[in-house]
């Protein structure tokens, strides 16, 4: 679940930004040149001042932990209790949630050590070019890219509508995930309008699929995706049929690769972090397979809700919560009556570390508020050119 939580964090950070604003990332390590300069400039006085401030910080954090640890222990216990009740098909009530807001640390920040530190070099995230190179190297495959962006949107719209998703769900989720202007090869954090921008995750496409999402989808839904392409191939002939047959053969190899481990997120994550996993992720860019992957990512949430007895159509914001947080956690919020949504803190659906790094979950600190800000961002971004083009593609 680690990658899923990372994706949730960065997607929710976007909610806090003005419309169209790029995400501002806090760096957790100083550049080596800055650290070296600080080390060279360190004096006995600077070191003594650092140690004094460190002592103050440690005392403040220790006091905070005495309050925070019991709170987050209660959050975990309540979550286990809800899971147990669901297995027994028992009703979930307000008593099954922690109803107070979590304590937030407001003491001094950890001071920066002026002495030399061994800082591990940060490994860069793979980007679209790496996914394409890996697909060629490990699967002898190059995704079939659209002649234009609207061609991909039309393909996606046809597949998504045929699966039972609604136009509103499709367009509004796209608007939230991409900011209303994303292309089929958009990667989280990268923007042609921001020179020097860096990838902040491996999420790519209209629904921002992570490498692990793609591996998991092929492991779990690969049979249906192969079937859809086989049916499409039956209507082709000549070079088009030959190209589709090659694509099918590659897809089957990728499905076999994804199924080579137990069907668990942690196992799929390990595969996704290999060069072969990067090559599998390139399928998100393919005009035939990409729309199927994007659709299945949302459709699995809809089907999960139905299987759990929730038959009311999901709003786009509700579907997005399941898309971001995972189906079980998202359904926990979705099935909650409005009166409960107004009272239940968002902290009930986070691990402590993810919550404390997430200003959006802290600011919009109940389920009702979080869904409302998601809807608001969808409203704003649905008026962007990309979203309008997708809406017109149906």
| pLDDT tens digits for range 143-156 | 999 999 999 999 99
- The SS3 call for residue 204 is strand
**Separation of alpha carbons 366 and 316, rounded Å:** 18
Beta carbons within 10 angstroms of residue 155's beta carbon: 20
pLDDT tens-place string over residues 160-211:
999 999 999 999 999 999 999 999 999 999 877 778 889 999 999 999 999 9
Residue 92 pLDDT level (bands cut at 50, 70, 90): very high
pLDDT for res 40: 57
CA dihedral 250, 255, 260, 265 (to 10 degrees): 130
> pLDDT tens digit string along 233-247?
999 999 999 999 999
When pLDDT is cut at 50, 70 and 90, the band that residue 360 belongs to is confident
- Residue 20: predicted pLDDT: 36
Are 159 and 393 in contact by the 8 Å Cβ rule? The answer is: no
pLDDT confidence band for 39 (50 / 70 / 90): very low
pLDDT of residue 13 exceeding 60, the answer is no
Mean pLDDT of 266-293: 97
Higher pLDDT, 336 or 115: 336
Greater model confidence, 124 or 316: 316
pLDDT above 70 coverage of the chain, percent: 89
pLDDT for res 118: 72
- pLDDT at position 165 is 95
Cβ atoms of 220 and 297 closer than 8 Å: no
Residue 103's pLDDT is: 95
pTM above 0.85, yes or no: no
Q: Report the percent of the chain where pLDDT is more than 90.
A: 75
Whether 259 shows a pLDDT value over 80: the answer reads yes
pLDDT of amino acid 283: 98
Burial 46-76 (b: 16+ CB within 10 A, else e): eeeebeeeeeeeeebeeeeeeebeeebeebe
């Amino acid at each position: 679940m680690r990658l899923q939580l990372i994706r949730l964090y960065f997607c929710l950070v976007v909610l806090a930004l003005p419309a169209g604003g790029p995400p501002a990332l806090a760096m957790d390590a100083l550049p080596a040149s800055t650290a070296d300069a600080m080390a060279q400039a360190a004096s006995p006085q600077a070191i003594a001042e650092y140690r004094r401030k460190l002592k103050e910080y440690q005392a403040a954090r220790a006091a905070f932990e005495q309050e925070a640890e019991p709170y987050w222990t209660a959050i975990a216990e309540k979550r286990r209790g809800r899971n147990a009740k669901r297995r027994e098909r028992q009703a979930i009530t307000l008593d099954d949630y922690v109803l107070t807001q979590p304590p937030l640390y407001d003491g001094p920040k950890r001071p920066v050590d002026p002495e030399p530190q061994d800082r591990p070099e940060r490994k860069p995230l793979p980007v679209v070019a790496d996914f394409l190179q890996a697909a060629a190297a490990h699967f002898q495959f190059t995704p079939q890219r659209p002649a234009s962006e609207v061609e991909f949107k039309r393909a996606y719209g046809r597949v998504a509508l045929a699966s039972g998703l609604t136009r509103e769900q499709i367009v509004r989720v796209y608007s939230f995930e991409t900011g209303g202007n994303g292309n089929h090869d958009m990667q989280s954090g990268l923007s042609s309008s921001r020179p020097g921008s860096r990838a902040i995750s491996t999420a790519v496409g209209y629904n921002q699929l992570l490498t692990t999402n793609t591996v998991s989808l092929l492991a779990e839904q690969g049979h249906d995706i192969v079937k859809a392409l086989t049916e499409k191939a039956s209507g082709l002939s000549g070079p088009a049929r030959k190209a589709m047959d090659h694509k099918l053969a590659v897809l089957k190899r990728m499905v076999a690769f994804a199924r080579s481990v137990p069907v668990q997120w942690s196992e799929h994550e390990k595969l996704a972090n290999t060069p072969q996993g990067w090559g599998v992720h390139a399928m998100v860019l393919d005009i035939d397979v990409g729309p199927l992957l994007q659709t299945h990512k949302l459709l699995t949430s809809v089907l999960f809700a139905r299987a759990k007895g929730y038959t009311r159509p999901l709003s786009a914001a509700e579907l997005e919560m399941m898309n971001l947080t995972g189906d079980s956690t998202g359904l926990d919020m979705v099935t909650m009556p409005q009166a409960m949504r107004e009272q239940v803190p968002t902290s009930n659906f986070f691990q402590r570390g993810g919550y404390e790094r997430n200003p959006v979950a802290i600011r919009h600190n109940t389920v009702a508020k979080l869904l409302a800000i998601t809807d608001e961002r969808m409203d704003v971004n649905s008026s962007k050119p990309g979203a309008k083009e997708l809406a017109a593609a149906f």
